[in-house]
Protein backbone atom coordinates (compact mmCIF):
# COMPACT_ATOMS: atom_id res chain seq x y z
CA UNK A 1 0.00 0.00 0.00
CA UNK A 2 1.41 3.43 -0.98
CA UNK A 3 1.25 5.86 1.92
CA UNK A 4 3.43 8.70 0.62
CA UNK A 5 0.54 11.15 0.72
CA UNK A 6 0.27 10.73 4.49
CA UNK A 7 2.48 12.54 6.98
CA UNK A 8 5.12 10.63 8.95
CA UNK A 9 3.04 10.18 12.07
CA UNK A 10 0.11 8.95 10.02
CA UNK A 11 2.28 6.41 8.21
CA UNK A 12 3.36 5.04 11.58
CA UNK A 13 -0.27 5.02 12.70
CA UNK A 14 -1.29 2.79 9.79
CA UNK A 15 1.26 0.20 10.93
CA UNK A 16 0.00 0.30 14.51
CA UNK A 17 -3.62 0.05 13.40
CA UNK A 18 -2.83 -2.95 11.21
CA UNK A 19 -1.27 -4.92 14.06
CA UNK A 20 -4.11 -3.81 16.35
CA UNK A 21 -6.69 -5.37 14.06
CA UNK A 22 -4.68 -8.59 13.66
CA UNK A 23 -4.47 -8.93 17.45
CA UNK A 24 -8.19 -8.13 17.75
CA UNK A 25 -8.83 -11.15 15.52
CA UNK A 26 -6.56 -13.27 17.73
CA UNK A 27 -8.45 -12.06 20.79
CA UNK A 28 -11.78 -13.18 19.33
CA UNK A 29 -10.50 -16.58 18.14
CA UNK A 30 -9.09 -17.37 21.57
CA UNK A 31 -12.19 -15.94 23.26
CA UNK A 32 -14.35 -18.35 21.27
CA UNK A 33 -12.03 -21.20 22.23
CA UNK A 34 -12.12 -20.39 25.96
CA UNK A 35 -15.88 -19.96 25.83
CA UNK A 36 -16.24 -23.39 24.20
CA UNK A 37 -14.09 -24.93 26.92
CA UNK A 38 -16.74 -23.95 29.46
CA UNK A 39 -19.21 -26.11 27.52
CA UNK A 40 -16.88 -28.90 26.39
CA UNK A 41 -14.34 -29.09 29.21
CA UNK A 42 -12.01 -31.56 27.50
CA UNK A 43 -11.80 -29.53 24.28
CA UNK A 44 -8.06 -29.32 23.42
CA UNK A 45 -7.23 -30.62 26.89
CA UNK A 46 -3.47 -30.99 27.23
CA UNK A 47 -2.94 -29.16 23.93
CA UNK A 48 -4.30 -25.68 24.59
CA UNK A 49 -5.79 -25.67 28.06
CA UNK A 50 -8.23 -23.02 29.30
CA UNK A 51 -5.48 -21.14 31.13
CA UNK A 52 -3.59 -20.76 27.83
CA UNK A 53 -6.53 -19.76 25.64
CA UNK A 54 -7.73 -17.33 28.29
CA UNK A 55 -4.27 -15.79 28.70
CA UNK A 56 -4.00 -15.18 24.96
CA UNK A 57 -7.58 -13.87 24.83
CA UNK A 58 -7.05 -11.14 27.40
CA UNK A 59 -3.40 -10.30 26.69
CA UNK A 60 -4.15 -9.91 22.99
CA UNK A 61 -6.88 -7.49 24.05
CA UNK A 62 -4.61 -5.34 26.21
CA UNK A 63 -1.93 -5.27 23.55
CA UNK A 64 -4.23 -4.53 20.60
CA UNK A 65 -5.73 -1.66 22.54
CA UNK A 66 -2.27 -0.27 23.33
CA UNK A 67 -1.43 -0.51 19.61
CA UNK A 68 -4.71 1.24 18.86
CA UNK A 69 -3.92 4.06 21.30
CA UNK A 70 -0.40 4.52 19.98
CA UNK A 71 -1.72 4.52 16.43
CA UNK A 72 -4.32 7.13 17.35
CA UNK A 73 -1.77 9.42 18.98
CA UNK A 74 0.62 9.09 16.04
CA UNK A 75 -2.29 9.80 13.71
CA UNK A 76 -3.17 13.14 15.27
CA UNK A 77 0.37 14.11 16.30
CA UNK A 78 1.52 16.23 13.36
CA UNK A 79 -1.86 17.86 12.82
CA UNK A 80 -2.26 18.75 16.47
CA UNK A 81 1.33 19.96 16.97
CA UNK A 82 1.45 21.69 13.59
CA UNK A 83 4.92 20.35 12.92
CA UNK A 84 6.71 17.24 11.68
CA UNK A 85 7.22 14.28 13.99
CA UNK A 86 10.70 14.45 15.54
CA UNK A 87 11.62 10.77 15.58
CA UNK A 88 10.06 8.97 12.65
CA UNK A 89 12.95 6.50 12.31
CA UNK A 90 12.98 5.87 16.03
CA UNK A 91 9.21 5.38 15.94
CA UNK A 92 9.65 2.74 13.25
CA UNK A 93 12.33 0.97 15.25
CA UNK A 94 10.01 1.02 18.28
CA UNK A 95 7.20 -0.44 16.20
CA UNK A 96 9.28 -3.36 14.94
CA UNK A 97 10.80 -3.98 18.36
CA UNK A 98 7.40 -4.15 20.00
CA UNK A 99 5.91 -6.28 17.26
CA UNK A 100 8.80 -8.76 17.39
CA UNK A 101 8.51 -8.97 21.18
CA UNK A 102 4.75 -9.52 21.01
CA UNK A 103 5.15 -12.24 18.37
CA UNK A 104 7.74 -14.10 20.44
CA UNK A 105 5.61 -13.82 23.59
CA UNK A 106 2.56 -15.21 21.81
CA UNK A 107 4.59 -18.10 20.37
CA UNK A 108 5.98 -18.90 23.82
CA UNK A 109 2.46 -18.79 25.32
CA UNK A 110 1.26 -21.16 22.60
CA UNK A 111 4.17 -23.58 22.38
CA UNK A 112 5.87 -23.61 25.79
CA UNK A 113 2.86 -22.43 27.83
CA UNK A 114 4.19 -22.82 31.37
CA UNK A 115 7.26 -23.68 33.41
CA UNK A 116 8.27 -24.40 37.00
CA UNK A 117 7.61 -21.67 39.59
CA UNK A 118 11.06 -20.13 39.42
CA UNK A 119 12.90 -17.07 38.12
CA UNK A 120 13.55 -18.58 34.71
CA UNK A 121 9.82 -18.93 34.09
CA UNK A 122 9.20 -15.41 35.31
CA UNK A 123 11.87 -14.00 33.01
CA UNK A 124 11.24 -16.05 29.89
CA UNK A 125 7.84 -17.79 29.88
CA UNK A 126 5.05 -16.21 31.87
CA UNK A 127 5.00 -13.77 34.74
CA UNK A 128 1.62 -14.97 35.97
CA UNK A 129 -0.01 -11.59 36.42
CA UNK A 130 -3.43 -11.67 34.76
CA UNK A 131 -3.69 -9.28 31.75
CA UNK A 132 0.04 -8.53 31.81
CA UNK A 133 1.40 -12.06 31.72
CA UNK A 134 4.32 -11.22 29.41
CA UNK A 135 7.63 -12.44 30.87
CA UNK A 136 10.08 -9.98 32.36
CA UNK A 137 12.36 -9.62 29.31
CA UNK A 138 9.37 -8.51 27.27
CA UNK A 139 8.31 -6.09 30.03
CA UNK A 140 11.62 -4.34 29.65
CA UNK A 141 11.21 -4.27 25.87
CA UNK A 142 7.71 -2.84 26.28
CA UNK A 143 9.01 -0.11 28.61
CA UNK A 144 11.66 0.85 26.03
CA UNK A 145 9.04 1.04 23.27
CA UNK A 146 6.75 3.11 25.49
CA UNK A 147 9.64 5.49 26.20
CA UNK A 148 10.26 5.92 22.47
CA UNK A 149 6.57 6.56 21.95
CA UNK A 150 6.45 9.02 24.81
CA UNK A 151 9.55 10.84 23.57
CA UNK A 152 8.08 11.12 20.09
CA UNK A 153 4.83 12.58 21.35
CA UNK A 154 6.32 14.95 23.94
CA UNK A 155 9.22 16.19 21.81
CA UNK A 156 7.02 16.78 18.77
CA UNK A 157 4.60 18.92 20.77
CA UNK A 158 7.57 20.66 22.37
CA UNK A 159 8.93 21.55 18.93
CA UNK A 160 5.54 22.55 17.52
CA UNK A 161 2.66 24.03 19.48
CA UNK A 162 0.88 22.82 22.60
CA UNK A 163 -2.87 22.72 23.00
CA UNK A 164 -5.16 21.81 25.89
CA UNK A 165 -5.61 18.37 24.40
CA UNK A 166 -1.91 17.70 23.85
CA UNK A 167 -1.02 18.95 27.33
CA UNK A 168 -3.43 16.55 28.98
CA UNK A 169 -2.35 13.79 26.63
CA UNK A 170 1.37 14.04 27.32
CA UNK A 171 0.93 14.28 31.10
CA UNK A 172 -1.35 11.27 30.92
CA UNK A 173 1.24 9.27 28.97
CA UNK A 174 3.74 9.83 31.79
CA UNK A 175 1.29 8.29 34.24
CA UNK A 176 0.34 5.49 31.87
CA UNK A 177 3.94 4.39 31.27
CA UNK A 178 4.98 4.96 34.90
CA UNK A 179 2.19 2.80 36.30
CA UNK A 180 3.18 -0.13 34.10
CA UNK A 181 6.40 -0.32 36.11
CA UNK A 182 4.39 -1.03 39.28
CA UNK A 183 3.41 -4.34 37.66
CA UNK A 184 7.03 -5.43 37.43
CA UNK A 185 7.61 -5.37 41.16
CA UNK A 186 8.29 -8.91 42.37
CA UNK A 187 7.43 -10.31 45.78
CA UNK A 188 6.49 -13.84 46.86
CA UNK A 189 3.74 -12.36 49.10
CA UNK A 190 0.55 -12.75 47.07
CA UNK A 191 -1.30 -9.92 48.87
CA UNK A 192 1.48 -7.41 48.22
CA UNK A 193 1.79 -8.69 44.68
CA UNK A 194 -1.91 -8.14 44.01
CA UNK A 195 -1.76 -4.78 45.73
CA UNK A 196 0.74 -3.47 43.14
CA UNK A 197 -0.66 -5.39 40.22
CA UNK A 198 -3.99 -3.52 40.61
CA UNK A 199 -2.09 -0.28 40.24
CA UNK A 200 -1.47 -1.26 36.65
CA UNK A 201 -4.84 -2.79 35.90
CA UNK A 202 -7.22 -0.50 37.73
CA UNK A 203 -5.25 2.73 37.40
CA UNK A 204 -4.85 2.03 33.71
CA UNK A 205 -8.45 1.36 32.78
CA UNK A 206 -10.17 3.61 35.29
CA UNK A 207 -7.77 6.56 35.24
CA UNK A 208 -5.06 6.85 32.60
CA UNK A 209 -6.79 5.03 29.73
CA UNK A 210 -10.00 6.92 30.42
CA UNK A 211 -8.13 10.23 30.23
CA UNK A 212 -6.39 9.13 27.05
CA UNK A 213 -9.69 8.28 25.38
CA UNK A 214 -11.08 11.57 26.69
CA UNK A 215 -8.37 13.29 24.62
CA UNK A 216 -9.15 11.11 21.59
CA UNK A 217 -12.86 11.83 21.98
CA UNK A 218 -12.24 15.58 22.17
CA UNK A 219 -10.11 15.44 19.04
CA UNK A 220 -12.51 13.06 17.28
CA UNK A 221 -15.50 15.34 17.91
CA UNK A 222 -13.61 18.30 16.45
CA UNK A 223 -12.63 16.19 13.48
CA UNK A 224 -15.95 14.58 12.65
CA UNK A 225 -18.39 17.28 13.79
CA UNK A 226 -16.23 20.40 13.67
CA UNK A 227 -17.07 21.11 17.29
CA UNK A 228 -15.34 24.21 18.62
CA UNK A 229 -11.95 23.55 20.24
CA UNK A 230 -12.81 25.71 23.26
CA UNK A 231 -15.87 23.61 24.03
CA UNK A 232 -14.15 20.23 23.81
CA UNK A 233 -11.18 21.43 25.84
CA UNK A 234 -13.36 22.75 28.65
CA UNK A 235 -15.22 19.44 28.84
CA UNK A 236 -11.93 17.58 28.78
CA UNK A 237 -10.63 19.45 31.85
CA UNK A 238 -13.83 18.79 33.78
CA UNK A 239 -13.86 15.11 32.86
CA UNK A 240 -10.20 14.65 33.72
CA UNK A 241 -10.62 16.28 37.12
CA UNK A 242 -13.62 14.08 37.94
CA UNK A 243 -11.94 10.98 36.59
CA UNK A 244 -8.80 11.33 38.68
CA UNK A 245 -10.81 12.56 41.67
CA UNK A 246 -12.81 9.34 41.83
CA UNK A 247 -10.72 6.78 39.94
CA UNK A 248 -7.49 6.98 41.93
CA UNK A 249 -8.97 6.06 45.31
CA UNK A 250 -11.61 3.97 43.55
CA UNK A 251 -8.70 1.53 43.36
CA UNK A 252 -9.93 0.43 46.77
CA UNK A 253 -12.73 -1.67 45.23
CA UNK A 254 -10.04 -4.25 44.38
CA UNK A 255 -8.63 -4.22 47.90
CA UNK A 256 -11.73 -5.55 49.67
CA UNK A 257 -10.70 -9.20 49.96
CA UNK A 258 -6.99 -9.49 49.24
CA UNK A 259 -5.67 -9.07 52.76
CA UNK A 260 -5.38 -5.26 52.92
CA UNK A 261 -6.56 -3.21 55.96
CA UNK A 262 -10.29 -2.87 56.49
CA UNK A 263 -10.45 0.89 55.82
CA UNK A 264 -10.30 0.05 52.10
CA UNK A 265 -13.89 -1.16 52.33
CA UNK A 266 -15.01 2.40 53.07
CA UNK A 267 -12.57 4.22 50.80
CA UNK A 268 -13.06 1.86 47.87
CA UNK A 269 -16.83 1.74 48.24
CA UNK A 270 -17.18 5.50 48.48
CA UNK A 271 -14.81 6.70 45.76
CA UNK A 272 -15.60 4.01 43.22
CA UNK A 273 -19.30 4.78 43.65
CA UNK A 274 -18.43 8.28 42.38
CA UNK A 275 -16.67 6.94 39.29
CA UNK A 276 -19.76 6.91 37.04
CA UNK A 277 -20.08 10.73 37.33
CA UNK A 278 -17.38 11.64 34.78
CA UNK A 279 -18.80 8.97 32.49
CA UNK A 280 -22.21 10.66 32.62
CA UNK A 281 -20.44 13.94 31.75
CA UNK A 282 -18.88 12.26 28.73
CA UNK A 283 -22.23 11.02 27.42
CA UNK A 284 -23.84 14.41 27.92
CA UNK A 285 -20.92 16.04 26.14
CA UNK A 286 -21.01 13.73 23.10
CA UNK A 287 -24.78 13.69 22.74
CA UNK A 288 -24.99 17.44 23.20
CA UNK A 289 -22.38 18.10 20.52
CA UNK A 290 -23.93 15.62 18.11
CA UNK A 291 -27.36 17.17 18.69
CA UNK A 292 -26.09 20.73 18.33
CA UNK A 293 -24.58 19.76 14.95
CA UNK A 294 -27.68 17.73 14.01
CA UNK A 295 -25.41 14.70 13.56
CA UNK A 296 -24.05 16.30 10.40
CA UNK A 297 -20.46 15.26 9.98
CA UNK A 298 -18.08 14.20 7.26
CA UNK A 299 -17.58 10.67 8.56
CA UNK A 300 -20.70 8.81 9.67
CA UNK A 301 -19.06 5.50 10.65
CA UNK A 302 -16.57 7.31 12.90
CA UNK A 303 -19.31 9.43 14.45
CA UNK A 304 -21.48 6.37 15.08
CA UNK A 305 -18.58 4.61 16.84
CA UNK A 306 -17.84 7.72 18.91
CA UNK A 307 -21.43 7.71 20.13
CA UNK A 308 -21.16 3.95 20.76
CA UNK A 309 -18.11 4.75 22.85
CA UNK A 310 -19.90 7.35 24.97
CA UNK A 311 -22.75 4.96 25.76
CA UNK A 312 -20.56 1.85 26.01
CA UNK A 313 -18.27 3.59 28.49
CA UNK A 314 -21.20 4.80 30.55
CA UNK A 315 -23.00 1.44 30.68
CA UNK A 316 -20.02 -0.94 30.70
CA UNK A 317 -17.82 0.91 33.16
CA UNK A 318 -20.29 3.19 34.93
CA UNK A 319 -23.48 1.17 35.34
CA UNK A 320 -22.04 -2.37 35.24
CA UNK A 321 -19.14 -1.29 37.44
CA UNK A 322 -21.38 0.47 39.96
CA UNK A 323 -23.64 -2.58 40.28
CA UNK A 324 -20.98 -4.59 42.13
CA UNK A 325 -18.71 -1.94 43.58
CA UNK A 326 -20.19 -1.59 47.08
CA UNK A 327 -18.51 -4.08 49.43
CA UNK A 328 -21.89 -5.31 50.71
CA UNK A 329 -22.72 -6.47 47.18
CA UNK A 330 -19.22 -7.38 46.07
CA UNK A 331 -19.06 -9.89 48.94
CA UNK A 332 -21.49 -12.00 46.90
CA UNK A 333 -20.49 -11.16 43.33
CA UNK A 334 -16.69 -11.07 43.61
CA UNK A 335 -14.99 -13.23 41.01
CA UNK A 336 -18.22 -14.60 39.52
CA UNK A 337 -19.33 -14.26 35.89
CA UNK A 338 -20.74 -10.94 37.07
CA UNK A 339 -17.18 -9.57 36.88
CA UNK A 340 -16.72 -11.07 33.42
CA UNK A 341 -20.00 -9.47 32.33
CA UNK A 342 -18.74 -6.06 33.43
CA UNK A 343 -15.25 -6.73 32.01
CA UNK A 344 -16.58 -7.49 28.53
CA UNK A 345 -18.97 -4.56 28.28
CA UNK A 346 -16.45 -2.12 29.77
CA UNK A 347 -13.44 -3.02 27.66
CA UNK A 348 -15.48 -3.21 24.48
CA UNK A 349 -17.70 -0.22 25.23
CA UNK A 350 -15.00 2.11 26.47
CA UNK A 351 -11.98 1.16 24.40
CA UNK A 352 -12.65 -1.08 21.39
CA UNK A 353 -15.28 1.40 20.17
CA UNK A 354 -13.13 4.52 20.23
CA UNK A 355 -10.19 2.80 18.56
CA UNK A 356 -12.51 1.65 15.78
CA UNK A 357 -13.75 5.26 15.50
CA UNK A 358 -10.18 6.54 15.22
CA UNK A 359 -9.43 3.98 12.51
CA UNK A 360 -12.52 5.10 10.59
CA UNK A 361 -11.30 8.68 10.88
CA UNK A 362 -8.04 7.59 9.27
CA UNK A 363 -9.45 5.41 6.48
CA UNK A 364 -10.58 8.10 4.01
CA UNK A 365 -7.22 9.89 4.29
CA UNK A 366 -5.41 6.63 3.64
CA UNK A 367 -7.50 6.37 0.44
CA UNK A 368 -6.67 9.99 -0.41
CA UNK A 369 -10.12 11.39 0.43
CA UNK A 370 -11.36 13.99 2.89
CA UNK A 371 -14.18 12.07 4.55
CA UNK A 372 -16.71 9.30 4.15
CA UNK A 373 -19.83 10.66 2.48
CA UNK A 374 -23.30 9.38 3.25
CA UNK A 375 -23.81 8.43 -0.41
CA UNK A 376 -21.67 5.30 -0.47
CA UNK A 377 -22.28 3.12 -3.56
CA UNK A 378 -23.36 0.12 -1.46
CA UNK A 379 -25.44 2.26 0.90
CA UNK A 380 -22.84 1.66 3.62
CA UNK A 381 -24.45 -1.65 4.64
CA UNK A 382 -21.12 -3.13 5.73
CA UNK A 383 -20.25 -0.52 8.30
CA UNK A 384 -23.83 -0.39 9.56
CA UNK A 385 -24.11 -4.16 9.93
CA UNK A 386 -20.70 -4.53 11.55
CA UNK A 387 -21.59 -1.74 13.98
CA UNK A 388 -24.87 -3.46 14.76
CA UNK A 389 -23.53 -7.01 15.03
CA UNK A 390 -20.48 -6.15 17.11
CA UNK A 391 -22.55 -4.18 19.59
CA UNK A 392 -25.37 -6.72 19.66
CA UNK A 393 -22.86 -9.53 20.13
CA UNK A 394 -21.09 -7.93 23.06
CA UNK A 395 -24.31 -6.74 24.73
CA UNK A 396 -25.74 -10.25 24.28
CA UNK A 397 -22.67 -11.82 25.88
CA UNK A 398 -22.87 -9.29 28.69
CA UNK A 399 -26.47 -10.20 29.52
CA UNK A 400 -25.76 -13.94 29.27
CA UNK A 401 -22.81 -13.60 31.65
CA UNK A 402 -24.83 -11.45 34.01
CA UNK A 403 -27.49 -14.15 34.32
CA UNK A 404 -24.82 -16.77 35.08
CA UNK A 405 -23.27 -14.34 37.55
CA UNK A 406 -26.56 -13.77 39.37
CA UNK A 407 -27.04 -17.50 39.62
CA UNK A 408 -23.55 -17.94 41.08
CA UNK A 409 -24.10 -15.19 43.63
CA UNK A 410 -27.31 -16.82 44.82
CA UNK A 411 -26.48 -20.50 44.69
CA UNK A 412 -22.79 -20.53 45.40
CA UNK A 413 -22.52 -17.57 47.76
CA UNK A 414 -25.87 -16.80 49.42
CA UNK A 415 -27.31 -20.32 49.66
CA UNK A 416 -24.13 -22.40 49.47
CA UNK A 417 -22.12 -20.15 51.82
CA UNK A 418 -19.09 -20.00 49.50
CA UNK A 419 -18.26 -23.65 50.09
CA UNK A 420 -16.88 -26.13 47.56
CA UNK A 421 -20.28 -27.74 47.53
CA UNK A 422 -21.87 -24.39 46.73
CA UNK A 423 -19.34 -23.77 43.99
CA UNK A 424 -20.07 -26.99 42.15
CA UNK A 425 -23.83 -26.72 42.70
CA UNK A 426 -23.64 -23.32 40.95
CA UNK A 427 -21.46 -24.56 38.08
CA UNK A 428 -23.88 -27.31 37.03
CA UNK A 429 -27.10 -25.36 37.52
CA UNK A 430 -29.07 -24.97 34.27
CA UNK A 431 -29.14 -21.18 34.55
CA UNK A 432 -25.37 -21.11 34.65
CA UNK A 433 -24.94 -23.53 31.77
CA UNK A 434 -27.53 -21.76 29.63
CA UNK A 435 -25.75 -18.46 30.22
CA UNK A 436 -22.56 -20.07 28.95
CA UNK A 437 -24.40 -21.33 25.86
CA UNK A 438 -25.90 -17.94 25.07
CA UNK A 439 -22.46 -16.37 25.53
CA UNK A 440 -21.21 -18.62 22.71
CA UNK A 441 -24.10 -17.72 20.43
CA UNK A 442 -23.54 -14.00 20.93
CA UNK A 443 -19.78 -14.56 20.72
CA UNK A 444 -20.31 -15.86 17.20
CA UNK A 445 -22.43 -12.79 16.39
CA UNK A 446 -19.50 -10.66 17.61
CA UNK A 447 -17.10 -12.62 15.42
CA UNK A 448 -19.27 -12.11 12.32
CA UNK A 449 -19.40 -8.39 13.13
CA UNK A 450 -15.61 -8.29 13.26
CA UNK A 451 -15.25 -10.02 9.89
CA UNK A 452 -17.62 -7.46 8.35
CA UNK A 453 -15.73 -4.62 10.03
CA UNK A 454 -12.44 -5.73 8.53
CA UNK A 455 -14.00 -6.21 5.12
CA UNK A 456 -15.44 -2.70 5.35
CA UNK A 457 -12.19 -1.11 6.50
CA UNK A 458 -10.39 -2.71 3.58
CA UNK A 459 -12.92 -1.59 0.99
CA UNK A 460 -14.87 1.50 2.10
CA UNK A 461 -14.34 4.47 -0.21
CA UNK A 462 -12.37 2.41 -2.74
CA UNK A 463 -14.97 2.70 -5.48
CA UNK A 464 -15.80 6.15 -6.72
CA UNK A 465 -18.63 7.51 -4.62
CA UNK A 466 -21.98 7.70 -6.35
Contact footprint for Fe ion (CB under 5 A): 202, 206
Instruction: Report what 350 binds from Fe ion, ligand HEM, none; CB cut-off 5-8 Å by kind.
Output: ligand HEM
Using CB under 6 A as the criterion, what x/- string covers residues 389-418 for binding ligand HEM? Answer: -----x------------------------
Angle at which helices 88-111 and 8-39 cross, to 10°: 10
| The one among 17, 271, 305, 348 contacting ligand HEM by CB under 6 A | 348
Angle at 324 between CA 401 and CA 308, to 5 degrees: 65
Closer CB to ligand HEM, 28 or 283, in the complex: 28
Measured from the CB of residue 91, what is the shortest distance to ligand HEM in angstroms?
26
Stretch that binds ligand HEM, among 24-32, 112-120, 219-227, 366-374 (CB under 6 A): 24-32
Tell me the C-alpha distance between 105 and 97, whole Å: 12
Size of the site for ligand HEM (CB under 6 A): 41
Q: Find the binding residues for ligand HEM in span 208-227 (CB under 6 A).
A: none
By CB under 6 A, tell whether 146 contacts ligand HEM: no
Closer CB to ligand HEM, 220 or 276, in the complex: 276
Closer CB to ligand HEM, 8 or 318, in the complex: 318
Instruction: Report what 28 binds from Fe ion, ligand HEM, none; CB cut-off 5-8 Å by kind.
Output: ligand HEM
Closer CB to ligand HEM, 94 or 254, in the complex: 254
Closer CB to ligand HEM, 54 or 223, in the complex: 54
Instruction: Report what 223 binds from Fe ion, ligand HEM, none; CB cut-off 5-8 Å by kind.
Output: none
| The one among 350, 363, 366, 460 contacting ligand HEM by CB under 6 A | 350
Q: Find the binding residues for ligand HEM in span 416-445 (CB under 6 A).
A: 439, 443
Closer CB to ligand HEM, 147 or 190, in the complex: 190
Instruction: Report what 447 binds from Fe ion, ligand HEM, none; CB cut-off 5-8 Å by kind.
Output: ligand HEM
By CB under 6 A, tell whether 25 contacts ligand HEM: no
Measured from the CB of residue 34, what is the shortest distance to ligand HEM in angstroms?
4
Instruction: Report what 341 binds from ligand HEM, Fe ion, none; CB cut-off 5-8 Å by kind.
Output: none
| The one among 78, 80, 133, 275 contacting ligand HEM by CB under 6 A | 275
| The one among 22, 25, 155, 340 contacting ligand HEM by CB under 6 A | 340
What is the 3-state secondary structure of the chain? Answer: CCCCCCCHHHHHHHHHHHHHHHHHHHHHHHHHHHHHHHHCCCCCCCCCCHHHHHHHHHHHHHHHHHHHHHHHHHHHHHHHHCCCCCCHHHHHHHHHHHHHHHHHHHHHHHHCCCCCCCHHHHHHCCCCCCCCCCCHHHHHHHHHHHHHHHHHHHHHHHHCCCCHHHHHHHHHHHHHHHHHHHCCCCCCCHHHHHHHHHHHHHHHHHHHHHHHHHHHHHHHHHHHHCCCHHHHHHHHHHHHHHHHHHHHHHHHHHCCCCCCCCHHHHHHHHHHHHCHHHHHHHHHHHHHHHHHCCCCCCEHHHHHHHHHHHHHHHHHHHHHHHHCCCHHHHHHHCCCHHHHHHHHHHHHHHHHHHHHHHHHHHHHHHCCCCCECCCCCCCCHHHHHHHHHHHHHHHHHHHHHHHHHHHHHHHHHHHCCCCHHHHHHHHHCHHHHHHHHHHHHHHHHHHHHHHHHHHHHHHCCCCCCC
Residues of this chain that interact with ligand HEM (CB under 6 A) are 28, 31-32, 34-35, 38, 54, 57-58, 61, 130, 205-206, 253, 272, 275-276, 317-318, 321-322, 324-325, 330, 334-335, 339-340, 342-344, 346-348, 350, 352, 394, 439, 443, 446-447
Amino acid sequence: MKLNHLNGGQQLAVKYYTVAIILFVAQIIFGLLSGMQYLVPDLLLGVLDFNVTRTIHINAMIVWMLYGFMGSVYWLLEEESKTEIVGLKLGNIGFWLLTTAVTIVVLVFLLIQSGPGDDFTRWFINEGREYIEAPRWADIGIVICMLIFFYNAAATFMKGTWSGISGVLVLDLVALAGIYIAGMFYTPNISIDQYWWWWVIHLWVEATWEVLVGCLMAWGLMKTLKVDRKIVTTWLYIEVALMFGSGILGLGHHYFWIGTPEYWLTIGGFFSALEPIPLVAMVVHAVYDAGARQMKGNNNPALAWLIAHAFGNFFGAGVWGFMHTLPQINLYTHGTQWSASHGHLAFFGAYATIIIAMIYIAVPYIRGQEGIGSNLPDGGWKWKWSLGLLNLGVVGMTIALLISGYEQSFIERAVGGSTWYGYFAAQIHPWFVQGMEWRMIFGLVTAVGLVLLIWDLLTIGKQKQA
